A and B are shown apart, each in its own frame.
Chain A
Amino acid sequence: MRAYTERIREAAKRLLTEKRVDVVIGFRKGTIPLVNEPFLVKDPKDADQLYWDGNCGVNLANYLAKRTDRVAVVAKGCDTRNIVVHLLEFQIKREQLYILGAPCHGMLDRRKIAGELKGKEPTFAEESDGTVKISGREFEVTLDRKEFLQENCSICIHRNPVLYDELVGDLVEEQQNVDRYVDIREIEALLPADRWQYFSKLVEPCIRCYACRNACPACYCPTCFVDESRPQWVGKSLDKTDTLTFHFLRAYHLGGRCTDCGSCERACPVGIKVRKFTKKLEKDIRELYGYETGLSVDERPPLDTYRPGDPEAFIK
């Protein structure tokens, strides 16, 4: 992780002093352990604040849509796939971008770690090869990194950047034989009434803060459907119907655009597993149209195209 940090700092300084880019988007250490914050560097003097470890789960592609300046961005596998989505949707031009590809080892789930610490407050965390050392007042634990990855990272099959100008670390080995849809198939196997129960319960704690929407790199509409008032398609109340409508439509908007980067789940303050919605669409699109999001800038997204023989058994 140290090596990544050094190379990111070096690249940022070089790009800024050579005036190749106007801004470098990366991470710096957050104010509390296990949380890093996005950081925009415009002055090479600030480049030494840039940092990289397993707490860089925020998707930096979120900061790219509609930018007009030249940007260098540190991007993991999923971030680069979201950049591809942006390119396909004309949110930014390739010429504006300088992508510092960061082959990813999976990001840490701070909630899982907090669960393991059972209420003890961590004051310091450090990562080394495959382990995370966490210490606080009168305790110190060493955790196996693999056990505490974000759920989407543990089933990730695109850890290496798909698009980059420069790498800040060596390419990693992709995970093989991952069954990405075990949980989705379990839900599909339930009876309709039980599925309704499952999803009603799932969204019950939702406070409609829209953090999942704001953290999502693919959500950049000038007026979001939840903010429309004439007509008002989604009610503003905490009524179950309204909440479920919000989650349903949010996920549907991401059909064929979601890269399963996990930003939504990471951002949720009440810990709703919102990927249970988006992953179903990902699965269907893969099964029906054989499309995987963000791997190629030459193929149009699945809902922006059609084929004569698309499945239509459900149409009378």
Chain B
Amino acid sequence: MSEWEPKIVAFLCNWCSYGGADLAGISRLQYPANIRIIRLPCTGRVNPKFILATLRHGADGVWVSGCHPGDCHYIKGNLYARRKFALLKNFLEYTGIIEPNRLHFSWISSAEATKFAEVARGVVDAVRAAGPAQHFIKKQAEVV
């Protein structure tokens, strides 16, 4: 078990957080390599189905990041998303599908490379502390 590394799926918006990740890379900022990035047009594109699917397929944590409120490329995508995420996070924790520190949200602009690296470290640490996800992963049928 000592070799266990958390797997984290990050949904980043194309215009801000993905740019932030890019800048963090160009700036040679260090952050853990546990993050698998999926680029989306906007955080408003995130459907709860996506998050459940990642958890079902074995992700230990999920991170969704987009533009700061007011900076959305589509004017208000992240403002709708904010309401959606507030309910989603509460509901996921209420049903016990995830523990509180597995699902993370952030606003990171394309200029905030240091914030990106910082939040990435924070997310990885939190998920590492939570340990391997177990109960919501769909197990394959065993062949005897």
Contact = CB atoms under 8 A, between A and B. Distances in A.
A200 B92 CA distance: 13
Interface string A230-267: 00011100010110110011011001000000000000
Given A235-B138, A241-B138, A316-B104, A302 B83 contact: yes
Interface residues of B, number: 38
A310 interface: yes
A126 B14 CA distance: 64
Interface stretch (B1-9, B25-33, B48-56): B48-56
B69 interface: yes
Contact of A195 (B88, B95, B139): B95
Contact of A196 (B85, B97, B104): B97
A303 B80 CA distance: 7
Contacts of A280: 90-91, 94
A76 to B, nearest CB: 27
Interface string A74-106: 000000000000000000000000000000000
Which of A249, A277, A316 is the most central at the interface, judged by chain B CB atoms within 10 Å of its CB? Answer: A316
Interface of B: 48-49, 52-53, 56, 69, 76, 79-80, 82-97, 99-100, 104-107, 119, 122, 135-139
A218 to B, nearest CB: 16
Contacts of A314: 85-86, 89, 105
Contact of A245 (B56, B69, B80, B96): B56
B107 A315 contact: yes
A289 to B, nearest CB: 7
Interface string A188-210: 10001111111110000000000
A241 B95 CA distance: 12
Nearest to B63: A316
Given A310-B82, A315-B85, A199 B122 contact: no
A284 interface: yes
Contacts of B99: 192
Contact of B87 (A233, A244, A252, A315): A252
A187 interface: yes
A139 interface: no
A185 to B, nearest CB: 11
A312 interface: yes
Contact of B100 (A192, A233, A235, A255): A192
A70 B79 CA distance: 38
Contact of B96 (A192, A235, A251): A192
